[in-house]
Amino acid sequence: MNPFLPLLKLTKPRIFLAIGLTSWLGFFLKEDFFNFRFVDSVMLFLCTALASSSGAVFNHYFERKTDALMPRTQKRPLVNADQGTLTLALAFGALLGLLGHGLSWYLFGMVSAFWLFMGWINYVVFYTLIFKHHSHWNVTIGSFASSFAVLAGDTAFSGELTTKGILLSLLLFFWNPAHFWNLTALYQTDYEAAKIPMLTSWVGRKKVVGMILLHLLAVLACVYGLWHFGNLGLIYLIGGLGTWGLFFALNLQNYFVLSDRYFKRNFIISNIYLLVLYFTVVLDRIYPFYL
């Protein structure tokens, strides 16, 4: 086996790729984006991915005992790790964090690095160490992590927040519970066995779906606001509203069914929805250059 494979698994690659893309989109929406070099986009993505990977490693470390209690997470790398492996994991996580945040400060400025660090602090300290095991609103608190990644991209070089960056960060903040609450409903018994106070166990699955629908209405407001204030055109507006309508309808369907199959489907669809939304933003902005 490749000796680096276990370390790579600790970084949660799918998550750091998504967070890196999210940060880049905040950068992409800047009015003067096309004046920057391609390498600037690559380095922003890299800095964000390194910082996100660092947070994932620390999350694995602090959650290893809880992970052992849930079938979904029992095979994670640090569940049965010895002390030497745990020490290596901590050193690896710290190195990733120093590289990500240090490079961000050097390349993109103090403000951008600050927002990137706030995302790390939110995920590792506020979500993992405090709220996840002590509050039913843990998912809501964790939602700030992706929002701060947007702001890191939005403030790169300039150090100034824009209306578009704030709206995109709010969109991610409201999307994240709609995404993750579907998963917590699907694995409700696992979280209860691990004594993690998810909202689903507190108010029931039907009310959680109702909360998801309310959050999606807030997402809709952000989608429209991003079009109104973000100098985006019909490609984005039609794509954004159309995909949102489908995502909302699928969750509304589950309000009357409460099916595990639908919770799983909606969790997967939520990722696809966000990727399609990002794609419409990119397509809308680059389209005029090919007219």
Instruction: Look at the chain and report how many structural domains it folds into.
Output: 2
What's residue 5's pLDDT? Answer: 60
What's residue 1's pLDDT? Answer: 45
Whether residue 290 is contained in a domain is answered as yes
What's residue 4's pLDDT? Answer: 59
Q: Are 251 and 273 in contact (CB under 8 A)?
A: no
AA letter at 88: L
The one-digit pLDDT tens for each residue of the chain (291 residues) are 445 567 888 999 999 999 999 999 999 999 999 999 999 999 999 999 999 999 999 999 999 999 999 998 998 999 999 999 999 999 999 999 999 999 999 999 999 999 999 999 999 999 999 999 999 999 999 999 999 999 999 999 999 999 999 999 999 999 999 999 999 999 999 999 999 999 999 999 999 999 999 999 999 999 999 999 988 999 999 999 999 999 999 999 999 999 999 999 999 999 999 999 999 999 999 876 544
Whether residue 147 is contained in a domain is answered as no
What's residue 6's pLDDT? Answer: 73
Do 216 and 113 reside in the same domain of the chain?
Answer: no
d(CA 270, CA 280): 15
Do 119 and 175 reside in the same domain of the chain?
Answer: no
Q: Are 226 and 168 in contact (CB under 8 A)?
A: yes
Do 102 and 210 reside in the same domain of the chain?
Answer: no
Q: Among the three residues 136, 170, 197, which one is the final residue of a domain in this structure?
A: 136
Do 7 and 55 reside in the same domain of the chain?
Answer: yes
What's residue 106's pLDDT? Answer: 98
Q: Residue 10: which domain range? A: 1-136
Do 8 and 106 reside in the same domain of the chain?
Answer: yes
What's residue 287's pLDDT? Answer: 79
Whether residue 217 is contained in a domain is answered as yes
d(CA 277, CA 131): 30
Whether residue 142 is contained in a domain is answered as no
Q: Are 44 and 156 in contact (CB under 8 A)?
A: yes
What's residue 20's pLDDT? Answer: 96
Do 103 and 210 reside in the same domain of the chain?
Answer: no
pLDDT digits (tens, 9 = 90+) for 258-290: 999 999 999 999 999 999 999 999 999 987 654
Do 171 and 71 reside in the same domain of the chain?
Answer: no
